[in-house]
Amino acid sequence: MAAAEGSSQPLTRRAKYNRDQEAGHDKLVADYFADEPVYPAEIFRRRFRMSRQLFLRIAGDMAQSDPFFTLRNDARGQRGFSNLQKCTSAIRQLAYGYAPDALDEYIRMSERTARRCLYKFCQWVVKLYSKRYLRKPNANDVQKLYQAHEQRHGFPGMLGSIDCMH
């Protein structure tokens, strides 16, 4: 990679787009997190695969655990991404298998930043929740899962079946 004339810094090939992160944040808040959001709780649950309350709890835990998940200015003094934008990017990638740049037009985030959000989000989910939620179920947990499945679907068993994991 060539260096810029008169500098030891290599040239970067990434284009810088004026994405207006603040507009992405404002749209996200208006759509899902305002006192009277555009989309109701049912739509939020379907699109995020969790309740708004759970999303906000996870986003808050992330912000308390890592400054990356807080709104900060970048090295140039420009506004960065909000906690809601970073967590939305990661959760949508996980929930739908979105490509990292699939939400660029909506939350105004580059592929590189979206990938970083996903990586850090996954790291912190494991650190924060693995002992309680990501553990192997014990006999009592399995029994509760069997009962819940039978009540919901009308037949016993099927623990771990791909068709019945929803």
Q: Does residue 130 sit in the same domain as residue 141?
A: no
Residues 140 and 58 in one domain: no
Which residues, at least 6 apart from 13, have a Cβ–Cβ distance to it below 8 Å? Answer: none
- Long-range pairs for 54-58 at CB < 8 Å and ≥24 separation? 55/87, 55/91, 58/87, 58/125
Q: Same structural domain for residues 112 and 38?
A: yes
CB count within 10 Å of CB 29 equals 14
62: number of Cβ within 10 Å:
22
Question: Amino acid letter at 51?
Answer: S
Structure tokens at 19: 């994405």
Q: What is the pLDDT of residue 98?
A: 86
Instruction: Count structural domains, the chain.
Output: 2
What is the pLDDT, as a whole number, of residue 109?
86
**Residues 70 and 122 grouped into a single domain:** yes
* Rounded Cα distance, 114 and 14, in Å: 15
Cα(68)–Cα(66) distance, integer angstroms = 5
Within this chain, do residues 65 and 112 fall inside the same structural domain, yes or no? Answer: yes
Picking from 79-83, 124-128, 131-135, which range would have the lowest pLDDT averaged per residue?
Answer: 131-135
Return the sign of the alpha-carbon dihedral for residues 38, 44, 48, 50. positive
The reply to whether 146 and 125 lie within a common domain is no
CA pair distance 98, 145, nearest whole angstrom = 29
Same-domain pairing of 51 and 123: yes
Amino acid occupying residue 66: D
71 with 47, same domain: the answer is yes
Supply the range of the domain harboring residue 105.
21-134
pLDDT digits (tens, 9 = 90+) for 15-73: 565 556 677 788 999 999 999 999 999 999 999 999 999 999 999 999 999 999 998 88
Least confident range from 14-23, 56-65, 110-119, 125-134: namely: 14-23
Least confident of 100-114, 116-130, 144-158: 144-158
Distance between CA 18 and CA 39 in Å, rounded?
Answer: 27
Instruction: Please name every residue paired with 3 in a beta bridge, in sequence order, or none if there are none.
Output: 10
Tell me if 11 is assigned to some domain.
Answer: no
Tokens 């990501």 belong to 134
pTM confidence score: 0.72
- Render pLDDT for 63-87 as a digit per residue (tens, 0 to 9): 999 999 998 887 778 888 999 999 9
One domain, residues 30 and 108:
yes
Q: Using alpha carbons only, how large is the chain's radius of gyration in Å? A: 20
Pair (71, 146) in one structural domain: no
